[in-house]
Structure formats: C-alpha cells, structure tokens
A and B are shown apart, each in its own frame.
Chain A
C-alpha cells in the first residue's frame, strides 16, 4: 500500500527525483495561475461584470474579511501569502473528486514545505512591521523566562501544522483505500464526500493558523504603534 504520492517516481537521476507529488503540485500551480490570468485579463468596474470576476471578487473579499477579523488591520499586505496558501491547499484537497488524482497535500514533503513557508513568513512580517529589535523583543514577551518556551513553540507549531494537514489528507486517502477492499460499493463515496469537507476545513484551518501566528508576531508592536499614532495626531 502506498502511503504517499511520493512513492510514485517518474524519473530519477542522482539527487533529483521527479515524483507524482511534484508533478501534481506544478500542474495545480499552472491551473491556478492560468485561471487567474484569464479572469483578470479583462477586469471591469461597471455594474455589469463577468461571472468569473464576480467569483474572484467574492473570494478576495471573503479572505480579506477573515484576515481582518483575526486582527490584522491591513489585510492587503497579507492576502498575497495567506490567500495563496488557502487557495492552493483547498484546490489540492477539493480535486480528489477527479478519478486517479492523488492530493499532493497527502505527502509530508508538501505540507512541511508549506509549514516552513509559514515559519519564515512570521519573522518576515514581524520584522517588516516593527524592525528586528521589536520582533526579537516579542520573544521576551511576558518575561525573559519565557524565551525558551517561545522558541520551542515556534518549532513545535510548525511541526504541528505540517503533520496535521498531512495526517488528515493521508488518513482520508487511506480510509478510502481500506474501504475499497472491504465494501467497494457505496461507503467509499460517502467517505470521499467527507474527505471534501475535511479538505476544505483543513485548508481553512491552515490559513487561519498562519494568520493567527502572523498576527501574534505583528501585534506585539501594537502599543508602540498606538503611541506613534497619538503623537502624530
């Protein structure tokens, strides 16, 4: 039994391997980019807009609202990262309705790459907002005794992000594979529809957690921002 699409290898030469995960990931990226390019080629501002533009606007507005509700005041700065994560994971998980499709998120390498992206984005946005000193100060936040725990939590939450997404998607595929050998008639379809729900929720959770982590790194500089605002007013 195959645990992940990593084990289907198309081409291998020394260190470089091209497996099903990489192929599916690139295909997904191409699909997402081409669809967005086609839709955004003819954007209109009038009363009558095309239905695809309407769908895209709804998506962007919803993601913006979600980011803003969590506490990031300028969602435009973050939607490029968080919206991409959300769209990629959701598309990767939703496409399991296609036959012979194996979600790339069911491989630990994809999910750890996404989790490492979040791990790098948190200091990036934190430093961009409050400078290196301000960001490093957030590790000493309640007291300096919390420094090792803050550092540990930085690592463990990245690990948890990766294993959570991988485990959920992999377990969905595994359950379907096991059910196919036991009751191959109706139950796999039921579990597959449950897999659609799980995939949607996991994409949402992943992006929400990324937003929460970024918000935590950016928020620590909030008091000084307020002081600046008051002094400039």
Chain B
C-alpha cells in the first residue's frame, strides 16, 4: 500500500472507532445519571427543579465527551490535515 491509501484507511477506521466507542460510554454514563436523578426525584419531588438543573448540566458535561469524539472523527473524515498534506505533495 502506498502512503495515500494507508492514510485513507487509517483515517476512516479511526473515525468509525472513535465515534462508536465515544458514543458507547457516554451513553452508559448518561443512562446511569438519568436513572439516579429519576429515582431521587421520585423520592423527593420538592427538589425536582434543583435536581433537573444539576442533571442538565451534568448531562451536558457527559455529552461533551461524546461530542469531542464526534468532532475528532469529523476532522478525520472531512478536514484531515495529513490527507491534505500528502495530496498537496
């Protein structure tokens, strides 16, 4: 394989893996935090606004890790610096 196809294969495979793994674990974490928040709202309905706000902030924090993986895979597919470098040569 020449350099171009090595870079293409590596970028595509890495992009797929980074999105899939980066979606899996944040999903687990979000499920866990939502279930805990739901059970605590069921126990204390009075504290629902505070719990909901904290839950949203926490979910955004967890979600952002997935977004980082997504951004990395988008860069690998659509704006790959190594690819442009090797094409420009």
Contacts and interface: CB of A to CB of B under 8 A. Distances in A.
Interface residues of A, number: 20
Contacts of A204: 56
Interface string A161-176: 0011011101100100
A1 interface: yes
Query: Which of A164, A166, A202 gathers the greatest number of chain B CB atoms within 10 Å?
Result: A164
B83 interface: no
Contacts of B64: 160, 163-164, 167
A163 B57 contact: no
Nearest to B68: A163
* Interface SS of chain A: helix
B60 A1 contact: no
* Interface SS of chain B: helix
Interface stretch (A140-148, A186-194, A205-213): A205-213
Contacts of B74: 3, 170-171, 174
Given A1-B78, A163-B64, A171 B57 contact: no
A171 B53 CA distance: 24
B67 A167 contact: yes
B68 A212 contact: no
Interface in B33-84: 50, 53, 56-57, 60, 63-64, 67-68, 70-71, 74, 78-79
Given A164-B63, A167-B68, A209-B57, 5 more contacts: A3-B79, A167-B64, A168-B63, A171-B70, A209-B60
Top 6 nearest A-B pairs by Cβ distance? A167-B67, A205-B60, A164-B64, A167-B71, A3-B78, A171-B70
26 contacts: A1-B78, A3-B78, A3-B79, A69-B50, A69-B53, A160-B64, A163-B68, A164-B60, A164-B63, A164-B64, A164-B67, A167-B64, A167-B67, A167-B68, A168-B63, A168-B67, A171-B74, A174-B74, A201-B56, A201-B60, A202-B60, A205-B56, A205-B60, A208-B53, A208-B57, A212-B57
